[in-house]
Amino acid sequence: MGSRSFSATVTNRGGELSSLDESLPEPTGAEVLPGESVRTSEVMSSLDHHEKGIPTSDAGLGMTIFDCQDVEVFYGSHQAIRDVSLSFGLREVTALIGPSGCGKSTFLRCLNRMNDLIPGAKVGGHVIYHGQDLYAPEIDPVQVRKRIGMVFQKPNPFPKSIYDNVAFGPRVVGMEGDMDEIVERALVRGALWEEVKDRLDENAFGMSGGQQQRLCIARALATDPDVLLMDEPCSALDPISTGRIEDLMSELKERISIVIVTHNMQQAARVSDKTAFFNVELAADEKSRTGVVVEYDATETIFTNPSDKRTEDYVTGKFG
């Protein structure tokens, strides 16, 4: 187990939306832990890749972005996941698959401290992002969520113009440069620019579901993160829109890493380089169920020759 467990109840910081008009809390200081004397602002700005640029040669390939060790999550007394140790590499798409309730989404939410927003949620273990433990006391979860965007099952644009949806993140983190250019770049990367360039001031709610989802992706990309978290991003979309998002993912992979939770196994097989199979295990008390990682391997291996019988049974549809 991780050496540090802590309670992450909702504080008055609130979530991303409610912190809209608040000035961002300053990091608490450098003196928190010996050996970890980096201030949040320094840590997080070191993760700002729009300044130094993300390496696009093959040089960084294989480099680890996320290194998760023995991650566990409790909701109150219920242990939702345990012993999750996974690492994600640069410019890799990783799919998290498994039956309902196996903790895939719970784990995904650990990667940008989304679980902090759930009352009573407790996260243990280590989530190391570029060498920095995201759950270290000096790290501000709001900053984390700003830098590491997540795309959800249901598109959730803000009730604002298309432009403002995309500009929101860059404004909050104080990105420098011409905002029009930043918005255009994000919309181009979100494969939406051509469709919306003439109606940027229209309300985002007027877009189709597939467009709204690409807008959410563009919004998450606007702050130039090097990783994108996706929680069943296509499950509310038709096959055409799904195909667009999948194409978009392969384009984005040229520059960033993606971790995607999906129930669609063919989608996992199509889009991902690596696949982690989660399953539920009965807890020691034999009453509650806890999610664990059964197998983590190259996607091709998982779908042609998995080494664990439970993985085989799941991907071939023998249960779940």
Q: Which long-range contacts (CB under 8 A, 24 or more apart) does 34-37 make?
A: 36/133, 36/136, 36/138
Between residues 31 and 285, which has the closer beta carbon with respect to other proteins?
285
CB under 8 A: which stretch of 5-13, 70-78, 254-262, 301-309 binds other proteins? 301-309
Of positions 12, 23, 77, 305, contacts other proteins by CB under 8 A: 305
In angstroms, give the least distance from the CB of 38 to other proteins.
Answer: 40
289 binds other proteins (CB under 8 A): yes
Binding mask 151-190 for other proteins (x = CB under 8 A): ----------------------------------------
* Interface residue with other proteins, options 99, 118, 158, 263 (CB under 8 A): 99
Stretch that binds other proteins, among 157-165, 212-220, 254-262, 296-304 (CB under 8 A): 296-304
Contact between 23 and other proteins by CB under 8 A: the answer reads: no
Tell me which of 134, 280, 291, 296 binds other proteins, using CB under 8 A: 280
Provide the pairing of β-strand 289-298 with 5-7.
unpaired
Out of 150, 225, 279, 291, the residue judged to bind other proteins by CB under 8 A: 279
Residues 261 and 269: their CA atoms lie apart, in Å, by 12
Is 263 an interacting residue with respect to other proteins (CB under 8 A)? no
Nearer to other proteins, 57 or 305 (CB): 305
Q: Does 78 bind other proteins (CB under 8 A)?
A: no
Among 39, 281, 288, 297, binds other proteins (CB under 8 A): 281
Closest CB 281 distance from other proteins, rounded Å: 5
Binding stretches for other proteins (CB under 8 A): 98-102, 265-266, 269, 279-282, 289, 294, 302-306, 310-320
